Amino acid sequence: MKFLIQSIALFSLLFAYSANARWIPTQGMTWNYVLGGTVNVSKEKAQIVDIDFENASKIKELHNVGKKVICYFSGGTLESFRKDKDDYYKVSGLVKNAYSQWSSEIWLDFRKEGIKPLIKNRMKIAKNNKCDALEVDNLGAYIHDEVKSWSNPLTKADTIIFARWLGQTAHEYDLSIGLKNVVGIIDEVGSYFDFAINESCVVYNECYHYKNFIKKGKCVFGVTYGSVSSMKSALCKNLNGLGMTMIIKPDYDLHQDVTFFNGKSTCGSSFDDGYESKSSNEGTIVRNVTKKTTTTKKTTTTKKTTTTKKTTTTKRTTTTKRTSTKKTSTKRTTTTKRTSTKKTSTRRTTTTRRTSTRRTSTRKTSTRKTSTRRTSTRRTSTKRTSTKRTSTRRTTTKKKSTRVVVVYVTKK
């Protein structure tokens, strides 16, 4: 009965476990940033298109012609046109003062716990709308004077905590996520994100902050506002050898019109694109990444070991029945528990690892977010040798298997 209960627990775990996968863009893939106006799908040449997360019909159209879709929403501000706007106002202290550069947006104090279910709900919508990745914008609030004027303003440390949470949470929904701007925290949070998006790093000579991130094989999508001719010198200087995919937009309206930056044709044959990993037409797929309850899974893993033992026990029982028909007692000894429990290898437990990974975004932010910096590679901490726990439990089961029963029957 005990083994039966453990077996049921194991099967429940297997059914509960989600082995989903998330798509991750690779270096060299082309992209377009279309947050304003509409997308004419038949004319779109980019492999990846960044649009609003609520535009389900357009996401479907883009998928139908083989495009990947990054979905945008703001995490650091509240946009007045959002359907869930009233829910934000219900959280005490969350909605703050106006963002002067963008009249339809209001700064948010994302330290409030009440923002988390709201962000999760948006991620669920993005998942249901079949978004491939997320761009969560306006994380760089702490560098803006309007936020610095608060009695208790946001800090860089607050932003790092929130950014990491965004990365982890996106990965729980099997969504890739890109870090938007905030180059000032790239080293602290980079490992939680799958790619990055930057506006105007060429203008402020800040593109070099992505060097370590790119060296790890992650891609960075950049946008520069203006024209290639007016920005040529800055583009060639900042991008040579870096490995960033750059587009040029005529203005901040972010309509579909785009120029794909070509370093060799613009800067000369000596220009090096600097890609660390070869681009793929499809990007990459990361499997078995999502583990929503890591701790629970560690505990349950030990049950896997026990269940394996149960299987062995069943085999024994079968042999015992054969023995009893022969009336030969000594044979029964052979059948009894040959320490077949040793068969139990808990290697099976070595499954879950969170990786997550995660993206950021911005719709209208351009010149504002330049002082941001990426960071981090802490995600790897989740790979905490949960398998070692299971192996310890196994050793205890060996005690059961060492019993040998010898029965001698004497015929008279």
pLDDT tens string 16-31: 334 579 999 999 999 9
Residue 44 has pLDDT above 50, yes or no: yes
Q: Which of the residue ranges 255-259, 289-293, 353-357 has the most confident prediction, judged by mean pLDDT?
A: 255-259
Give this prediction's pTM.
0.67
- How does residue 384 score in pLDDT terms, banded at 50, 70 and 90? very low
- How does residue 394 score in pLDDT terms, banded at 50, 70 and 90? very low
Spatial CA neighbour of 190 closest among 174, 205, 212? 212
* 124, 173 Cβ separation under 8 angstroms: yes
393 vs 38, residue with greater confidence: 38
- Residue 245 confidence (pLDDT): 98
Q: Span 198-217, mean pLDDT?
A: 98
Q: How far apart are CA 235 and CA 248, in angstroms?
A: 10
- Residue 149 confidence (pLDDT): 98
Residue 81 has pLDDT above 80, yes or no: yes
Residue 227 identity? S
Q: Span 64-75, mean pLDDT?
A: 99
Spatial CA neighbour of 93 closest among 71, 78, 82? 78
Q: How far apart are CA 169 and CA 177, in angstroms?
A: 10
pLDDT tens string 225-255: 999 999 999 999 999 999 999 999 999 999 9
- Residue 20 confidence (pLDDT): 72
Residue 340 has pLDDT above 80, yes or no: no
Q: Span 101-115, mean pLDDT?
A: 98
Question: Order of strands across the sheet with 105-108?
Answer: 77-79, 105-108, 95-98
Q: How far apart are CA 388 and CA 368, in angstroms?
A: 48
- Residue 264 confidence (pLDDT): 97
Q: Span 81-102, mean pLDDT?
A: 98
Q: How far apart are CA 231 and CA 264, in angstroms?
A: 15
Q: Which two tokens stand for residue 290?
A: 């999502």
What is the enclosing helix (H) or strand (E) of 234?
helix 228-239
Least confident of 156-170, 211-225, 346-360: 346-360
What secondary structure does DSSP assign to 166-203, as a single string?
Answer: HHHHHHHTT-EEEEES-EEEHHHHGGG-SEEEEESTTT
Q: How far apart are CA 72 and CA 12, in angstroms?
A: 36
User: What is the average pLDDT value for the chain, to the nearest integer?
Assistant: 76
339: region left, alpha or beta (phi > 0 left; psi from -120 to 50 alpha): left
Domains in the chain, ordered, with CATH?
20-291+355-376 (3.20.20.70), 294-351+388-401 (no CATH)
52 vs 341, residue with greater confidence: 52
- Residue 35 confidence (pLDDT): 97
- Residue 361 confidence (pLDDT): 37
